[in-house]
């Protein structure tokens, strides 16, 4: 499927490039070739290479036809700042359109021969009609984009207003909830304090009287009874020995 482009190229008229002459280049790009119409406002020129010519030119640069056409469109659809354009006379009364480009650090030159249009007026009208149609389409697009922008702007303002309203409602809701929560919390604290006071009073009321400590007294009494009841063991042993000796003596006498 073909595509179209139209550009304004500034061509230096002398070696200093201080003076430049504009030309308009309208191109129709096909999958295997292209057609060019060029005008300076008065005279028009045509460049209609065949598929075979484009294929041969692409092979000279070791490029596929598609890459060659894509690179050509890049330089003819819009003037490239680093490229040097020329539209010179040829020895046979025609014109040659050329432009330079950089590839792998080398400056290369592409050029195509253009023949004068048999009907310059028709060719000029073709270019200007295309420019007018493009300008109208561009204007319509700009108008449509502006309308879309205004609609989006209105929607954005509505969204902003809604966001502010939601934010304010949220703050009011949080403030109300916090106030209610604070009241409930204080009420719970008060009830807990009352319950704590009641429990404290109840513990003081139900606490039994403190019993005397009789442990030491019992121990003292037990020790006293022991001291009173126990005799000296040494005395018991001596008394028993005496009794045994007395009994033995009596037995011998008898």
Above 50 in pLDDT, residue 245? no
Which residues, in sequence order, are CB contacts of 217 under 8 Å at separation 6+?
none
Q: What is the CATH number of the domain that holds 52?
A: 2.170.210.10
Above 80 in pLDDT, residue 214? no
Above 90 in pLDDT, residue 208? no
Q: Average pLDDT for residues 5-19, to the nearest whole number?
A: 81
* In a domain? residue 178: no
Q: How many domains does the chain have?
A: 1
Q: Which residues pair with 20 in a beta bridge?
A: 12
* In a domain? residue 18: yes
Q: 0.85 cut: is pTM over it? A: no
The residue that leads in pLDDT, 72 or 228, is 72
* In a domain? residue 224: no
* In a domain? residue 41: yes
Structural domain including 38 reads 3-118
Report the alpha-carbon distance of residue 34 to residue 51 in Å, rounded.
Answer: 8
Per-residue HEC secondary structure of 129-142 comes to HHHHHHHHHHHHHH
* In a domain? residue 221: no
Rg from Cα positions in the chain: 61
Instruction: Using DSSP, state whether 134 is helix, strand or coil.
Output: helix
């Amino acid at each position: 499927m073909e595509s179209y482009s139209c550009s304004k190229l500034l061509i230096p008229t002398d070696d200093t490039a201080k003076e430049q002459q504009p030309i308009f280049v309208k191109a129709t790009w096909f999958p295997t070739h292209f057609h060019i119409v060029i005008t300076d406002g008065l005279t028009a020129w045509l460049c209609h290479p065949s598929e075979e010519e484009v294929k041969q030119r692409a092979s000279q640069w070791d490029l596929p036809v598609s890459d060659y056409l894509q690179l050509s469109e890049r330089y003819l659809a819009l003037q490239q700042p680093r490229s040097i354009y020329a539209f010179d006379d040829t020895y046979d009364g025609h014109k040659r359109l050329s432009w330079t480009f950089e590839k792998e650090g080398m400056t290369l030159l592409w050029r195509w021969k253009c023949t004068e249009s048999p009907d310059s007026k028709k060719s000029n009208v073709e270019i200007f009609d295309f420019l007018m149609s493009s300008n109208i389409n561009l204007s319509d697009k700009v108008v449509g984009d502006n309308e879309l922008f205004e609609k989006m702007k209105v929607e954005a303002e509505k969204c902003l207003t809604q966001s502010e309203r939601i934010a304010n409602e949220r703050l009011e809701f949080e403030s109300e909830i916090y106030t209610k929560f604070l009241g409930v919390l204080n009420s719970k604290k008060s009830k807990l304090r009352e319950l704590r006071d009641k429990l404290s009073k109840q513990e003081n009321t139900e606490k039994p009287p403190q019993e005397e400590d009789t442990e030491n007294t019992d121990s003292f009494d037990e020790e006293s009874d022991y001291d009173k009841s126990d005799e000296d063991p040494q005395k018991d042993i001596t008394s028993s020995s005496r009794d045994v000796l007395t009994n033995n003596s009596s037995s011998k006498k008898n």
